[in-house]
């Protein structure tokens, strides 16, 4: 800094005290040295690097959405749980009806309880169709038998439908497993990986579930 510039600076700082003028002169010298590329303030006056701020992503853009396989598995498991709970509750209700019956009805066999009546005893349905219906009887005990048979008929229809719901859920889970196996086979380009038990078994499970649901409308007391 030249003496003339120092004198001009001192004259311009006449309104400040002596101590303030000294500090301003020291600060001005630091600034001028930094502008020339030296001094202690050269780093502070250097231009900051151009740092681009990351753009905020749209709301929910980074959130991973569940795929079709996950939805099938979740829906299938939910249906299986609901169907299984319904089957257990209906089975207990059928046992209670049998125990509380005044006519001492024989307990249902596992096949008669869990399979549609058309499959368990097709001859009963053929005789009902050929004979045009069963014989009607009177009496107090017969009325009790009719009430028991009507209640068991309602529970048997419910059992068939809960089993159909369980089968639909199982079919959805098997289809999701088949889709995952097909995707893995396509990624590995190995045709042997395309074979899966779920691929062959899932359609039969769904057909059986729909059959149980349809046969529930043809139950007989």
| Count of Cβ atoms closer than 10 Å to residue 124 Cβ | 13
Confidence bin at 106 (pLDDT 50/70/90):
confident
Q: Is position 85 within any domain?
A: yes
Distance, CA of 92 to CA of 98 (rounded, Å)? 10
Q: Is position 59 within any domain?
A: no
pLDDT digits (tens, 9 = 90+) for 12-26: 656 667 777 677 777
Terminal-to-terminal C-alpha distance of the chain: 115
Q: Are residues 33 and 73 in the same domain?
A: no
| Count of Cβ atoms closer than 10 Å to residue 163 Cβ | 23
pLDDT confidence of residue 210:
95
Q: Are residues 81 and 175 in the same domain?
A: yes
Q: Are residues 12 and 120 in the same domain?
A: no
pLDDT digits (tens, 9 = 90+) for 125-168: 888 888 765 444 444 445 556 888 889 999 999 999 999 999 99
Q: Over range 90-110, report the average pLDDT.
A: 84
pLDDT digits (tens, 9 = 90+) for 41-69: 555 555 555 556 666 555 655 566 668 88
Q: Are residues 36 and 73 in the same domain?
A: no
pLDDT confidence of residue 205:
92
3-state secondary structure of 138: coil
pLDDT confidence of residue 69:
85
Distance, CA of 64 to CA of 82 (rounded, Å)? 28
Q: Are residues 151 and 207 in the same domain?
A: yes
**Higher confidence at residue 181 or residue 3?**
181
Residue ranges making up the domain that contains 27: 3-40
Long-range pairs of 79-83 with CB within 8 A, sequence gap ≥ 24: 79/165, 79/166, 79/168, 79/169, 79/172, 80/166, 80/169, 80/170, 80/173, 81/169, 82/165, 82/169, 83/162, 83/163, 83/164, 83/165, 83/166, 83/167, 83/168, 83/169
% of the chain with per-residue pLDDT over 70: 67
pLDDT confidence of residue 200:
79
Q: Is position 17 within any domain?
A: yes
pLDDT digits (tens, 9 = 90+) for 74-94: 999 999 999 999 999 999 999
Q: Is position 62 within any domain?
A: no
């Amino acid at each position: 800094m030249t003496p003339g510039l120092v004198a001009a600076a001192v004259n311009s700082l006449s309104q400040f005290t002596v101590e303030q003028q000294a500090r301003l002169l020291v600060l001005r010298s630091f600034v001028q040295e930094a502008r020339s590329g030296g001094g202690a303030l050269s780093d502070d006056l250097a231009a900051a690097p151009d740092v681009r701020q990351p753009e905020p992503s749209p709301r929910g853009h980074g959130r991973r959405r569940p795929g079709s396989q996950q939805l099938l598995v979740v829906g299938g498991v939910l249906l299986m749980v609901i169907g299984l709970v319904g089957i257990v509750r209906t089975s207990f209700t059928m046992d209670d009806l049998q125990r509380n019956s005044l006519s001492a009805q024989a307990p249902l066999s596992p096949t008669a309880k869990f399979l549609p009546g058309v499959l368990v005893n097709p001859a009963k349905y053929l005789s009902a169709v050929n004979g045009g219906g069963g014989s009607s009887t009177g009496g107090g005990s017969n009325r009790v038998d009719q009430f028991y048979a009507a209640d068991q008929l309602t529970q048997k229809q419910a059992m068939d439908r809960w089993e159909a719901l369980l089968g639909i859920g199982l079919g959805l889970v098997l289809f999701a497993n088949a889709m995952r196996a097909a995707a893995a086979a396509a990624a590995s380009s190995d045709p042997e990986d395309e074979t899966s038990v779920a691929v062959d078994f899932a359609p039969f499970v769904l057909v059986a579930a729909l059959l149980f649901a349809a046969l529930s409308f043809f139950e007989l007391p």
